[in-house]
């Protein structure tokens, strides 16, 4: 399971809204080549919706949504999505 820090959740909500995504939109987190559970390396982008095969993590307080594919789910399992910088938003998986 991926935990979403409160600051990251708020930034996701703001970012998705600023991109004009629908309410079912969210932040897509995707593992980069060479990434592993020991050294997670990811890229993020706003996505209009999850795909059928995505795992969707939802922050209970803000309803921020994070989409990950199966390969990425294995890499981020047990980790936390945090906000490193607010402007522009920069996220990290720790």
* The pTM of the whole model exceeds 0.85: yes
For residues 34 and 41, the answer to whether their CB atoms sit within 8 Å is: yes
The pLDDT profile of the chain, 94 residues, written as one tens digit per residue, is: 899 999 999 999 999 999 888 888 999 999 898 877 788 889 999 999 999 999 999 999 999 999 999 989 988 999 999 999 878 888 989 8
Q: Tell me the Ramachandran region of residue 68: left when phi exceeds 0, alpha when psi lies from -120 to 50, beta otherwise.
A: beta
Fold of 3-93: Hypothetical Protein Aq_1857; Chain: A; (2.60.300)
Q: What angle do CA 81, 83, 87 make, to 5 degrees?
A: 150
Give the DSSP H or E segment for 55.
strand 55-58
What are the residue boundaries of the structural domains of the chain, listed by start?
A: 3-93
Q: Tell me the Ramachandran region of residue 47: left when phi exceeds 0, alpha when psi lies from -120 to 50, beta otherwise.
A: beta
């Amino acid at each position: 399971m991926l935990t979403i820090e409160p600051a990251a959740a708020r930034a996701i909500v703001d970012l998705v809204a600023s991109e004009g995504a629908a309410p079912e939109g969210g932040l897509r987190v995707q593992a980069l080549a060479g990434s592993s559970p020991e050294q997670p390396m990811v890229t993020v982008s706003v996505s209009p919706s999850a795909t059928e095969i995505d795992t969707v993590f939802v922050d209970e307080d803000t309803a921020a949504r994070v989409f990950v594919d199966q390969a990425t789910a294995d890499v981020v399992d047990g980790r936390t999505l945090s906000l490193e910088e607010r402007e522009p938003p920069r996220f990290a998986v720790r």
